[in-house]
A and B are shown apart, each in its own frame.
Chain A
Amino acid sequence: MLRTTRTLRNAAAALAVLLLSGTTAFAQDASGKLVIVTSFPKDMTTAFQQAYQKANPKVTVEILNRNTNAGVKYLQETASNNGVDLFWASAPDAFEVLKGAGLLQPYKPKVEGIPAKVGAYPVNDPEGMYAGFAASGYGIMWNSRYMKANDLPVPKEWADLTKPVYFDHVAISAPSRSGTTHLTIETILQGEGWEKGWRTNKEMAGNYRTITERSFGVPDGVNSGAFGVGIVIDFFALSSQASGFPVEFAYPTITTIVPANVGVVKNAPNKAAAEGFVDFLLSPKGQEVLLEPAIRRLPVNPVTYEKAPAGYPNPFKDSSLGSQVNFDVNVSQARYNVVDALFDQLITFQLDDLKAATQAIYKAEAALAKKPNDKAKALLAEARDLVAAMPVTAEQAADPQLAGAFTVERKSAKDTVPERQAQVEQKWAAFAKENYAAARKKADEALALAR
């Protein structure tokens, strides 16, 4: 019963696609309805929508706002009878997922003069499935009123956020929930190496006030003063500042400038308009829209910076911006899910335990500063190592066998994976719990010695 309806449905869908493609194949001039799925905020999409429609009055732009993950899911679920022309979002990883699923079609933009790289990151997909139209970097945002009220120094580098003064003042969104945070974490891992990178990540995490579920949850909390410091993508901070919030932003040395992208969806009903929109985004007129106060993204067309206000970050001039780390997309891709799951199991879901251990370490440290004691110092180092310890090495994380536990889609009955995701995660969670408890115990011992 189910099977027959499915066949029927597929046949009907195929028919619909045929009909639709038949009507658009002859369209030369851009006209009609252009449907865009995007994760960008309304301020940004409305500005582009208006600018584009002014230049192309025959096209009506229809914006569908979804967070990146939901957008990808939506395209996947509706692929059989696609009604979307463009996918427009930040995280390059989301585009990789779509590309992997064969849901994009190649297009080479007609606009000249776009450099091949921004920072150390290629602007466009080498296969032309998607194109970068704006750059963004990750950094630290803070609320000046909050900092003043709590007497906090201004943070400049990731390492600053591992200091005891920031305990319970910092927030981040979970990398499994936010493509942008994932890139931040991955950048630190690639910039400092697997072991040291995780140590930094966990030491920062010891200071987290909360781990939010949406990427916008972080700037939102900093804006309202719910917490003082947030790890965010630049435009969140810059646009908040432009809206009048008492917030500031800094790029740490280890950051990646990553392009935000646009890609034409496979079987796009209005291909001509979709391609026109891509070209418009990259044209000087389109790029200028990025400079608007409520948007504040970094254009990829270098000429646009001439029109930017003073002090606007320019990754093509400022060589320190985003070029410290040579971001390797392949390394990132191979361990994408593993990094997310590690962060969730070791940090997000164990945050209380991790913070308790961190607090114990800080207390012991403060006592030690007043009354040095070698044995206590050794204990404390052990405690720090316990917190930083990882259940998997960089090699294991890149192992397709392990990644298989997270991604495997059943292709044939013979496919096997050694372990189920739930088993792996339980193991990691137990590892973290044990280590944090042990670290806390050691720190308490050190404190007792230093008293």
Chain B
Amino acid sequence: MTSLALTRDRIARVRPGPALAALLIAAFLLLFLVVPVVQVIFVAFQDKTTGAFTLVNFADFFGNDLFMRSFANSFYVSAMSVVVASLLALPLAYLTTRFEFRGSVLIQSLGIIPLIMPPFIGAVAMQLLFGRNGSVNLLLRDHFGFSIPFMEGLNGVIFVQSIHYFPFILINLSASLKNIDRAMEESAQNLGCHGFRLFRRIVFPLAMPGYVAGASLVFIKVFDDLGTPLLLNVNDMLAPQAYLRISSIGISDPMGYVISVVLISCSLLALWVSALAMRGKDYATVQRGGGGLAKRRLKPLEMVAAYGIVLLILVLVLAPHVGLGLLSFATIWSFSPVPDAFTLKHYQTVFTESGQYITNTLLYASLAALLDVVIGTAIAYLVLRTKLPGRQWLDYIAMAALAVPGVVLGIGYLRSFYGVPMPFTGQPLSNFWLILVFALAIRRLPYALRACTAALQQVSSSLEEAAENLGATKLRTVSRIVVPLMSGGILAGFVTSFATAAVELSATIMLVHSQSDAPLAYGLYVYMQSAAGRGPGAALGIFAVIIVGLGTYLSHVVIERGRRERGQDQ
């Protein structure tokens, strides 16, 4: 213990490198997150008539039945979504990492695809399948005379959100499971522990950082999510209330901004609680090279059960994409279990009209995700491995981005950067496409950050100490020891950021200033505004899904190969 404390002290001695990195990151966050957001939300603290500082708007918030009802609903929906998402993610993560399972990489990739359910059409597809007059209910009613209210009110939101966001738990939990030292499990087995008890007492607790990271993301994300409740026309939740307030014209009411402040506070609170839950526990395991849990062969009967469960979950979580696929080939699909007829016309339309959207999206989303993992890794390192004063704040501020509604960020960017002309061209800075990349990076930074933090939490600092004792410089230690050991988590962060940035809409819609610079989500939005555009919109959505799915699969392959080359796998 004392030696550990000593080395911690040594690391903590402020070095110029980490301090510089911290300053750079702080400047980035300040410029692209804090300033734009403050430009918008200071209204919440302003007396509407005098402009003086006031808290009366918050009193109004807590005295308003509708807002209180929305608050309660948001809380209920978020908590239930975490529960349902865990039920979906746990079996997938456990079975694919714990057992010899054919195609587990494929299953894990498929499991991530719900995350890229593109806006608008995802909900359209779900309504077509599970809505009151969707395929399932039409068939049920015709043949059995009853229907199931999957999509009614809050149920619908929980259903769609769990399917949409459960990959957060899946990715982070799988990364954690893969990092567990096999020796722990073997020791437990030697001591006579096995089966569910082994999972409950040893495996799951060791994977806790990943689970908590994922679950807190799901909670916050659902709490702040705007698109799903809006598309299902559930208005009495907090995020839709904020959006409805802010984006209506002629209403210069501070309540929308008050709700934004409440959203941001609640998200920070949730993060703080999850940090509390993790505090005082050391999840790092020293030994590397074991390549995670021992993979066991399943007995035939277990095999059947396992495949059954995995298939059932996959069918459920991929349903929106099946619906989307049908829609993209459909001529007319109206009040019937399946479309009237099929056509390739929509893909033709998309090919001729929308190639630009796809290349833009690839460029923006990968740049944003790259930026995210670089900053995410740096923040995780600064927070966990240095003693720089105020380092926690980098984490908190970056995570607060999760709670900033996209519209607020978009308006903030316009306010902050529109008046600034670019050098040489004189065009407003906010028209520059890189600004869109920064907006995406800021919006998706929290995902990467949580993944990177969880990954670093599992790397024991004694490995770095060993490297440094052998004479490696700090930079070399980070690049040769820390980052490779974190690679699983970093990849998870990259994939989540990339996949979700590729379909981000709410900030994008405010910032896109010309068609040639527009990403795919914008194209989807434009298509989905007309009756004739539904098919092409769905086809474009399918492209989005394929691109991101392929990206995910490829990065898995790359990482797996890397692990193998480093001898971390048999």
Residues of A bordering B, CB below 8 Å: 6, 9-10, 12-13, 15-16, 19-20, 35, 41-44, 62-66, 68-70, 72-74, 77-78, 80-81, 83, 94, 97, 143, 145-146, 149, 174, 176-177, 210-214, 216-217, 219-221, 223-227, 236, 239-240, 242-247, 294, 336-337, 340, 345, 348-349, 406-410, 413, 415-417, 420-423, 425-426, 429-430, 433
**Nearest CB on B from A168, distance (A):** 9
Q: In the complex the two chains form, what is the Cα distance from A239 to B531 in whole Å?
A: 7
A409 and B411 contact, Cβ closer than 8 Å, known pairs A13-B421, A420-B60: no
Pairs A–B under 8 Å by Cβ, sample size 9? A15-B421, A66-B509, A74-B510, A143-B335, A220-B531, A226-B132, A420-B56, A421-B251, A429-B65
B residues less than 8 Å from A406 (CB atoms): 250-251, 253
Q: In the complex the two chains form, what is the Cα distance from A166 to B468 in whole Å?
A: 76
Q: Is there contact, CB below 8 Å, between A35 and B533?
A: no
**Nearest CB on A from B441, distance (A):** 22
CB < 8 Å: which of B48, B420, B530 contacts A420?
A: B48
A224 and B60 contact, Cβ closer than 8 Å, known pairs A416-B49, A422-B255: no
Q: Is there contact, CB below 8 Å, between B334 and A143?
A: yes
CB < 8 Å: which of A65, A83, A420 contacts B526?
A: A65
Q: In the complex the two chains form, what is the Cα distance from A213 to B232 in whole Å?
A: 9
B residues less than 8 Å from A212 (CB atoms): 233
A421 and B50 contact, Cβ closer than 8 Å, known pairs A43-B533, A65-B525: no
Q: Is there contact, CB below 8 Å, between B249 and A73?
A: yes
B residues less than 8 Å from A74 (CB atoms): 414, 510
A429 and B431 contact, Cβ closer than 8 Å, known pairs A41-B530, A62-B515, A73-B247: no
B residues less than 8 Å from A9 (CB atoms): 419-420
Q: Is there contact, CB below 8 Å, between B335 and A146?
A: yes
A residues less than 8 Å from B531 (CB atoms): 219-220, 223, 236, 239-240, 243, 245, 294
Q: Is there contact, CB below 8 Å, between B127 and A43?
A: no
Q: Is there contact, CB below 8 Å, between B411 and A77?
A: yes
Q: Is there contact, CB below 8 Å, between B420 and A12?
A: yes
What number of residue pairs across chains A and B have CB atoms under 8 A from each other?
Answer: 211
A residues less than 8 Å from B252 (CB atoms): 407-409
B residues less than 8 Å from A20 (CB atoms): 426
A16 and B426 contact, Cβ closer than 8 Å, known pairs A223-B334, A239-B530: yes
Q: Is there contact, CB below 8 Å, between A211 and B253?
A: no
Contact with A along B418-430 (1 / 0, CB 8 A): 1111000011101
Q: Is there contact, CB below 8 Å, between B515 and A42?
A: no
A residues less than 8 Å from B127 (CB atoms): 221, 224, 226
Q: Is there contact, CB below 8 Å, between B419 and A83?
A: no
Q: Is there contact, CB below 8 Å, between A413 and B50?
A: yes
CB < 8 Å: which of B50, B64, B332, B418 contacts A425?
A: B64
Contact with A along B40-69 (1 / 0, CB 8 A): 000000001111000011001101111000
B235 within 8 A of A: yes
A residues less than 8 Å from B131 (CB atoms): 226
B248 within 8 A of A: yes
Contact with A along B76-119 (1 / 0, CB 8 A): 00000000000000000000000000000000000000000000
Q: Is there contact, CB below 8 Å, between B421 and A12?
A: yes
A residues less than 8 Å from B332 (CB atoms): 243-246
Q: Is there contact, CB below 8 Å, between B532 and A239?
A: yes
Chain A residue with Cβ nearest B127: A226
**Nearest CB on A from B219, distance (A):** 24
**Nearest CB on A from B425, distance (A):** 10
Q: In the complex the two chains form, what is the Cα distance from A149 to B510 in whole Å?
A: 42
Q: In the complex the two chains form, what is the Cα distance from A23 to B333 in whole Å?
A: 51
B415 within 8 A of A: yes
B236 within 8 A of A: yes
A426 and B244 contact, Cβ closer than 8 Å, known pairs A145-B336, A245-B332, A410-B50: no
Residues of B bordering A, CB below 8 Å: 48-51, 56-57, 60-61, 63-66, 124, 127-128, 131-133, 230-231, 233, 235-236, 240, 244, 247-253, 255, 331-336, 411, 414-415, 418-421, 426-428, 430-431, 509-510, 512-516, 522, 525-534
CB < 8 Å: which of A94, A145, A244, A416 contacts B335?
A: A145
Q: Which of A12, A69, A210, A420 has most chain B Cβ within 10 Å? A: A420
**Nearest CB on B from A330, distance (A):** 16
Q: In the complex the two chains form, what is the Cα distance from A422 to B62 in whole Å?
A: 11
A433 and B65 contact, Cβ closer than 8 Å, known pairs A12-B421, A78-B428, A149-B335: yes
Q: Is there contact, CB below 8 Å, between B249 and A97?
A: yes
Q: Is there contact, CB below 8 Å, between A77 and B247?
A: no
Q: Is there contact, CB below 8 Å, between B529 and A65?
A: yes
Q: Is there contact, CB below 8 Å, between B235 and A422?
A: no
CB < 8 Å: which of A41, A210, A225, A415 contacts B334?
A: A225
Q: In the complex the two chains form, what is the Cα distance from A422 to B245 in whole Å?
A: 11
Chain A residue with Cβ nearest B50: A413
User: A65-B525, A244-B331 known; 12 other A-B pairs, CB under 8 Å?
Assistant: A13-B421, A16-B426, A19-B426, A69-B249, A80-B418, A143-B335, A226-B127, A340-B248, A410-B50, A421-B253, A426-B63, A429-B66
B residues less than 8 Å from A41 (CB atoms): 526, 529-530, 533
Q: Is there contact, CB below 8 Å, between B61 and A422?
A: yes
The list of the 10 closest CB pairs from A to B, nearest first, reads: A225-B335, A41-B530, A9-B419, A422-B60, A240-B531, A145-B335, A77-B414, A243-B532, A210-B233, A65-B526
Chain B residue with Cβ nearest A61: B515
CB < 8 Å: which of A15, A213, A408 contacts B235?
A: A213
Q: In the complex the two chains form, what is the Cα distance from A247 to B426 in whole Å?
A: 50
Q: Is there contact, CB below 8 Å, between A294 and B419?
A: no
A211 and B233 contact, Cβ closer than 8 Å, known pairs A12-B421, A219-B531, A294-B532: yes
A residues less than 8 Å from B253 (CB atoms): 406, 421-422
Q: Is there contact, CB below 8 Å, between B335 and A423?
A: no
Chain B residue with Cβ nearest A246: B334
**Nearest CB on A from B354, distance (A):** 10
Q: In the complex the two chains form, what is the Cα distance from A371 to B50 in whole Å?
A: 62
CB < 8 Å: which of B133, B230, B336, B431 contacts A226?
A: B133
Q: Which of B230, B235, B525 has most chain A Cβ within 10 Å? A: B235
Chain A residue with Cβ nearest B511: A74
